[in-house]
Chains A and B, each alone.
Chain A
Amino acid sequence: MIEVVGLTKRFGSTLAVDDLSFSVEPGRITGFLGPNGAGKSTTMRAILGLVRPTAGGTSVLGVQYRELQEPVRRVGVLLETFDAHPGRSGRNHLRVLAVAGGIPKSRVDEVLSLVDLGAAGRRRVKGYSLGMRQRLGLAAALLGDPEVLVLDEPANGLDPQGIRWLRDFLRSLAAEGRTILISSHVLSEVAQTVDDVVIIHRGRLITHAAMSEVEARAAASTMVRSPTADRLRAVLAEQGIDVTSVADGRLAVVAPPERVGELAAANGIVLHELSVERASLEEVFLELTGDPGERGA
């Protein structure tokens, strides 16, 4: 279990994390989401004892990270920044970690095979592609067969097969009762993986909910197109239904398609299109984390 209680972190005049509290339960995968610069990495590093909180605190398995016995065996970590010496081979990088954590050398080859780096393990890390570096980071996280995983942007650089493998693998680990926290700035990227989401923006908690609840927020609207759009709009308005004009002469109607079709038929209005459109998860995410124009600037 991971707990963050009233965490605040200030770097000079910049407030990176602001009174943030949430918990990550065992047996579940929790997505830690927010736009770039929201404070995700700072929070994760505070959980791992790499960043000293200005106020508040964090705990992993009931204690502060630095108090953990055998931390390599208990908490697997993937950081967003690459943390292997470029002049060392991937295998030797893992050997260093294995020796420090009291992990048998045989486990090094196991995890290299697991992340499909067996053949590249003896090559120096500076020759690795982004995807290979990410796989090496995952191998390092899995080295101690830990009960807690903290993964910062784990899908970065992975190809679609790699992302699918990661998703299935994390699900199997969660099914074994492990605690998993993964960060991302793309909600749709983790939607199929996570059970819960913690969404932050500008260092503050926006929402902490089950993924199913977030998906439910992607409310449906009915899209309709008619050669007599103005008449249809008037009929719908008479019924107190909200209508918005969108591109290509289409109307977005806040009502079920059955109701829109019945009203059109009753008034003899020809329809060329009647469909249901759901807001994407990204739209929900953008809505939760503020105005999209600001991020696009």
Chain B
Amino acid sequence: MTRLFAAELVKLRTLRSTWGFLLVALLFGGLVAAGNIGGSSDSDRLDPELQFRIVLDAAFPGSILALLLGIILVTNEFRHGTIARTLLASPRRPRFVAVKLFTGGVTGALLMAAMIVVIAVTAVIWLGILDVPLEAGEAADATWRALLVATLAGVLGAGVGGAVHSQVGALVGALLWMFVLEPICWVILGLLDLDGVSDYLPAAALGGTVDTSDEGLSWARAVAVALAWTGVAAVLAVLRTSRRDIT
């Protein structure tokens, strides 16, 4: 497993698209930090809540990037025909899927970590110039929440990729679900007076893991539901990949 994971990291490191993802993550990190600090009034900048919010605001784009990278790291294998060579080195397919899920989680966390580093550097310099005291505790609380959601999104992405195999299908399907279909479900469920059910849908559950408001699922329940969705995706990925003939 260790070798296969190391091989996955070499695969990611030796492709330009991975560095493109990292660059986009860093840009998002910078934009989130600049937007939050630059767009806040002087009194808001003194509020420690700002430092918490900056990091949490990065969680949404970070987790979307982690989801997409998770999808790509599996579907690239099918798109470019490298799946045969990969399975020759790792012929037990559930193990292959497990390595991909783990890699998806790790890369998701690394992307988010990179964003947080950019945010932290920007915030330390900018707020330092403005003599705003930094509250490490607030930022740390937001940081682990953001890392958790990105990790879950990365695993979910790898699971979706493993279940769908088609790169275009998985990417379009995931984005369509996140931004169109699930919001439509929320509206329909709201009309049916079933708002509570909306919180159990995948995007809502992922959002719940970084949500600090009292609305919706509790944090623990949101994490459990998000884990359940990643589990469903993982099982589907194992079933689909195990049954597929590589021709």
**Does A139 reach chain B (CB closer than 8 Å)?**
no
Check B76–A81 contact: CB distance below 8 A.
no
Kindly list chain A residues whose C-beta atoms are within 8 Å of the C-beta of B11: 85, 88, 96
**Does B130 reach chain A (CB closer than 8 Å)?**
no
Check B15–A85 contact: CB distance below 8 A.
yes
Check A85–B76 contact: CB distance below 8 A.
yes
Q: How far apart sit A100 and B16, CA to CA, in the bound complex (Å)?
A: 21
Q: What is the number of contacts between chain A and chain B, taking CB atoms within 8 Å? A: 86
Nearest CB of chain A from residue B40's CB, rounded to whole Å: 41
**Which of A23-31, A45-53, A252-260 contacts its partner?**
A45-53
Check A100–B91 contact: CB distance below 8 A.
no
The size bracket of the interface on A is 35 or more
**Does B212 reach chain A (CB closer than 8 Å)?**
no
Check B84–A85 contact: CB distance below 8 A.
no
Kindly list chain B residues whose C-beta atoms are within 8 Å of the C-beta of A171: none
Check A66–B247 contact: CB distance below 8 A.
no
Kindly list chain B residues whose C-beta atoms are within 8 Å of the C-beta of A95: 10, 14
Interface centre among B16, B80, B88, B91 (most CB of A within 10 A): B88
Kindly list chain B residues whose C-beta atoms are within 8 Å of the C-beta of A49: 87, 91
Kindly list chain A residues whose C-beta atoms are within 8 Å of the C-beta of B14: 88-89, 92, 95-96
**Does B231 reach chain A (CB closer than 8 Å)?**
no
Check B91–A65 contact: CB distance below 8 A.
yes
Nearest CB of chain B from residue A122's CB, rounded to whole Å: 11
**Does A97 reach chain B (CB closer than 8 Å)?**
yes
Kindly list chain B residues whose C-beta atoms are within 8 Å of the C-beta of A50: 84, 87-88, 245-247
- Tell me the B83-117 residues at the A interface (CB within 8 Å): 84-92
Interface centre among A41, A50, A71, A75 (most CB of B within 10 A): A50
- Chain B residue total in the interface (Cβ 8 A): 27
Nearest CB of chain A from residue B11's CB, rounded to whole Å: 5
- Assuming A51-B245, A52-B243, A52-B245, is B10 touching A92 (CB within 8 A)? yes
Kindly list chain B residues whose C-beta atoms are within 8 Å of the C-beta of A84: 80, 82, 85
Kindly list chain B residues whose C-beta atoms are within 8 Å of the C-beta of A102: 3
**Does B4 reach chain A (CB closer than 8 Å)?**
yes
Nearest CB of chain B from residue A143's CB, rounded to whole Å: 10
What is the chain A residue whose CB lies nearest that of B84? A83
**Does A134 reach chain B (CB closer than 8 Å)?**
no
Nearest CB of chain A from residue B78's CB, rounded to whole Å: 12
Nearest CB of chain B from residue A202's CB, rounded to whole Å: 18
What is the chain A residue whose CB lies nearest that of B77? A85
Q: How far apart sit A86 and B16, CA to CA, in the bound complex (Å)?
A: 11
What is the chain B residue whose CB lies nearest that of A16? B247
Check B89–A71 contact: CB distance below 8 A.
yes
Q: How far apart sit A52 and B243, CA to CA, in the bound complex (Å)?
A: 8
- Tell me the A3-45 residues at the B interface (CB within 8 Å): 11, 41-42, 45
**Interface residues, chain A, with chain B CB atoms under 8 Å away:** 11, 41-42, 45, 48-52, 65-66, 68, 71-72, 75, 77, 79, 81-89, 92, 95-97, 99-102, 140
